[in-house]
Amino acid sequence: MSRHTELEDDDIPLLQQLLDVRQDIPGLKVIIALGGWDFLEAIPMKDIFSVMISAAANRAVFIASVKIFLNQNNLDGIDINFEYPAAIEHNAPATGVL
């Protein structure tokens, strides 16, 4: 599993606008959202979560990548939307992984 810890160039100004709002609203948390319906059905993303959680090493890479991304971009957290993680047709992980 590879690491992805950088923003696309088009996203940088949008993120900065969001981060600038924090100056006006003390305590505002800025988080990223990852996942959703496209990660369930759309190729090439449909198996990303299943592959990521399939092995401890993959999960470790994901967690490390998220930490790097959050720190590099001054973000407060992540919202992960894993649609139907137990669906057998989507390579459901072994019980207890989630």
- What residues act catalytically? 83
Question: Do you find a cis peptide bond into 44, omega within 30 degrees of 0?
Answer: yes
For 5, the token pair is 């810890």
What is the spatial distance between Cα 78 and Cα 33, in angstroms, rounded to a whole number?
6
For 76, the token pair is 């407060």
